Structure 1
Amino acid sequence: MSITFQVLGTADGDNAMFVQVDSGQSVERLLFDCGEGCLSSLPFGEILSLDQVFFSHLHMDHIAGFDSFFRATFNRTSKPNQLWGPPDTARILQHRFQGVLWNLQEEMTGSWRVCEVHPEEIQSARFELPEAFATRHEEAPRPRQRVIWEGVGVTVEAVTMEHRTPTLAYIIREKPRRNVDLTRLAALGLRPGPWMKNLKEASESATTVEIEGSMHSLEDLREKLIVETSGDTLAYLTDFLLDEAAMERLILALQGCRVIVCEGQYRHSDLDLAKKNFHMTTVLSATLAQRAQVDELVLFHLSDRYGREEWLEMLAEAREIFPNARFPTHWELGNA
């Protein structure tokens, strides 16, 4: 698949998720949450190359590692600096921006945009390094749609969930892939060449293409040669109440999803505690995976109230409902 992901952090610590999407034209790098120490497992070059950072919510264990990212990128100009989260994200992050002494920044360049996902709209604010991030520059809001961000080869959707505060569940969808069927190409007596780039891009500026001295209709060639396949889909789900109403909303949103990375905060015998704290159990996570008909469930964000043996029991409980459940491989907790 063109989407690859890595759960960052340890079983007994904070977590995050690093995603790479290779569209063939570029590689886009996305980070979901930023717990303490999570970035330590990424090469520094990957941190510098992050394209977007998405926060589920702003509790300490999901944002404690942000300073490490910000220290590396506060004056980055090689690409836009854009952060996402639920309502009130801009206010909280402005405090993070201003949490150090700025007195040498006047000649520096750096601009940061924080986008808040509200029920009906996306509200954005811009903060400037030369101003020591002191001024919140409000930007015109835009209507909220299912897709909140679109890259070259990927889109990100957000679903607002309840954690006694709004929290965002994210769905990362690779855009459909357009490929030339080489068997059909050979049947037409044509050979591969640079002209195929125009065929894949479906540009409206050109209607014909020259192939070995002959002109061909692009529309006709696309109809005969292009095969479009659905892209891969990944979901990041953490820190919310998963009652029946929430389950039904997520099942609709997760249509076509292959993998879900989902919290397994509590064992099911502590269901009442999970509900009280607006969290899930591994059994609830597995039930969601089963009902949404995904291929794989990766459990993370476990409560440190349990030890290794209980975590393994929680995984076993999940597998009774959804056999293809596992922990992140690098945790070495016994996925076999």
Structure 2
Amino acid sequence: MELIFLGTGAGVPSKGRNVTAIALTMLNERNSIWLFDCGEATQHQILRSSIRLSKLEKIFITHLHGDHIFGLPGLLSSRSFQGGDTALTVYGPMGIANYIRTSLVVSGTHLKYPLEIVEIDGEVVFEDADFKVICRELDHGILSYGYRIEEADKPGALDAAGLSALGVKPGPIFKELKEGKTITLENGIVVDGSQFIGPAKKGRIISIFGDTRATESELVIANQADVIVHEATFGLEMGDMAGEYMHSTTVEAANLAKKAEAKRLIITHISSRYSREDNSELVSECREIFPNTEIATDFAIFEL
């Protein structure tokens, strides 16, 4: 699983940062890619990455400001031309369906794949046997969500050495024991598979935030996450402006990660007032509070 940052700027693109789009690649887990937000020129950014639109399964939109959605109609259209024929689902706040459908109708765009649009109504956005996505409303003046992606726990490893000592040979029996079944061997020994399975491997938790001011509701999304992706539009010295424009500072993102007892923080959505040379200062402000902090740049890849 990897996070690929396709755009890490705020509001308007700059020479060094495009506007927001983050890909979560899950090729080993489900042979697909999820996209979080789709700012203008996201499809151009994808051309410079390893991402294939045909693998795109779901798009989660945090809110309807232009720097998070203006790339969506073009990307949906291009997916048809690039061989995408599997179903795609877009999740987002109320109004996302009207925006997408109007854009496609007015431009005369016909998609060659099934498109489902889900306007969020409730805390659980998506759930299957492997992943659960929940959301919580943030504080940005417009309806803006944070998403928490919870991976299901994986069964523990089978104690093959212990079974071999009992005379159990690898094969179909191992599969049954891995499922926790009890079997009787030819020599009469009864083997309880659950006794030969190690502790479950805890699933990963990824928290991805839309634009927001610091708010207590963020803790629900961030609690004990393996990684938090949070906006840090402004540095410490711009706290008043951050509050006025309903954004977060570096230290607010870091304080959230610390309070949430998260393992890792990645800051993004950096104002165009900051150049690449300012990155070290911005990340240092976070590390004063939460040491395991990194700053995202366009095309940066973080392995999870």
Residue 294 of structure 1 corresponds to: 262
Partner of 2:14 in structure 1?
none
Counterpart of 1:180 in 2: which secondary structure? coil
Per the TM alignment, residue 222 of structure 1 is displaced from its structure 2 partner at its CA by 2.8
Contact 1:208 1:216 in 2 (8 A): no
Q: Report what 1:79 is aligned to.
A: 86
Matched with 2:158 is 181
**Aligned twin of 1:65:** 71
* 1:273 matched to 2:241: yes
Aligned-pair distance for 1:60?
0.9
Structure ranking higher on relative contact order (CA contacts 8 Å, 6+ apart): 2
Distance in 2, matches of 1:216 and 1:116, equals 56
- CA deviation after TM superposition for structure 1 residue 257, in Å: 0.7
* The one of 280, 284, 290 aligned to 1:316: 284
2:207 and 2:221 in contact (8 A); partners too: no
3-state SS, counterpart of residue 189 of structure 1: coil
Q: Which residue of 2 aligns with 1:38?
A: 42
SS at match of 2:257: helix
Q: Contact 2:8–2:270 at 8 Å: present in 1 too?
A: no
Aligned equivalents of 2:78, 2:258: Cα separation in 1: 40
Residue 223 of structure 2: aligned partner: 255
Secondary structure of the equivalent of 1:172?
strand
Q: Does 1:235 align with 2:207?
A: yes
| Alpha-carbon distance between aligned partners in 2 of 1:296 and 1:181, rounded to the nearest angstrom | 30
Structure 2 residue 135 is matched with structure 1 residue 158: yes
Q: Deviations over 1:257-287 (max 9, x none)?
A: 1111111101122111111111100110011
Conserved in 2, the CA contact under 8 Å of 1:21 and 1:153?
no
Structure 1: distance between partners of 2:57 and 2:173 = 31
Report the CA distance shift for 1:53/1:227 in structure 2 as closer, same or farther (over 3 A).
same
Is 1:191 aligned to 2:169, yes or no? yes
Conserved in 1, the CA contact under 8 Å of 2:24 and 2:35? yes
How far 1:226 moved relative to its partner?
Answer: 5.0
Gap change, CA 1:216 and 1:84, over 3 Å in 2: farther
Normalising by structure 1, report the TM-score: 0.75
| CA distance in structure 2 between the aligned counterparts of 1:94 and 1:274, rounded to whole angstroms | 33
On the 8 A contact 1:33/1:63 being kept in 2, the answer is yes
Give distance in 1, aligned partners of 2:139 and 2:188: 58
In 1: Cα distance, 2:89 partner to 2:76 partner: 12
- State the 1:38 CA deviation: 2.8
Note the C-alpha offset of 1:210. Answer: 8.6
Which residue number in structure 1 is paired with residue 193 of structure 2?
221
In structure 2, the residue matched to 1:94 is: 101
Which amino acid letter does the alignment assign opposite residue 241 of structure 2? Answer: L
On the 8 A contact 2:209/2:229 being kept in 1, the answer is: yes
Superposed displacement of residue 311, structure 1:
3.8
Using the TM superposition, give the Cα deviation of residue 184 of structure 1 relative to its aligned residue in structure 2, in angstroms: 3.8
Cα deviation 1:230-260 (Å, max 9, x = unaligned):
1111111130121xxx2x3222332331111
CA distance in 2, matches of 1:308, 1:47: 29
User: 1:170 is matched with which residue: 137, 144, 147?
Assistant: 147
Are the counterparts in 1 of residues 5 and 299 from structure 2 also a CA contact under 8 Å? no
Alignment match, 1:56: 62
- In structure 2, distance between residues paired with 1:89 and 1:196: 48
User: Do 1:22 and 1:153's aligned partners in 2 also have CA atoms closer than 8 Å?
Assistant: no
User: Hey, what's the Cα distance between the residues in 2 that align with 1:56 and 1:216?
Assistant: 56
Residues 4-47 of structure 1, C-alpha deviations (whole Å, 9 max, x = no match): 211112553212111123565x3232110112233434458621
Sequence identity percentage: 26
Q: Does 1:147 align with 2:119?
A: no
For the 8 Å contact 1:8–1:39, the answer to whether it is kept is: no
Q: Report the secondary structure of 2:2's partner residue.
A: strand
In 2, Cα distance between equivalents of 1:34 and 1:58: 10
Relative distance call for 1:14 and 1:215 in structure 2 (3 A) is farther
Measured in 1, the distance between the counterparts of 2:8 and 2:268 equals 9
Q: Cα RMSD (Å) of the superposition?
A: 3.0
Distance 1:214 1:150 in 2: 44
CA offsets per residue over residues 44-80 of structure 1, 9 Å max, x none? Answer: 8621111110000111111122133212335877432
Pairwise CA distance, 1:187: 4.3
Partner residue of 2:33? 29
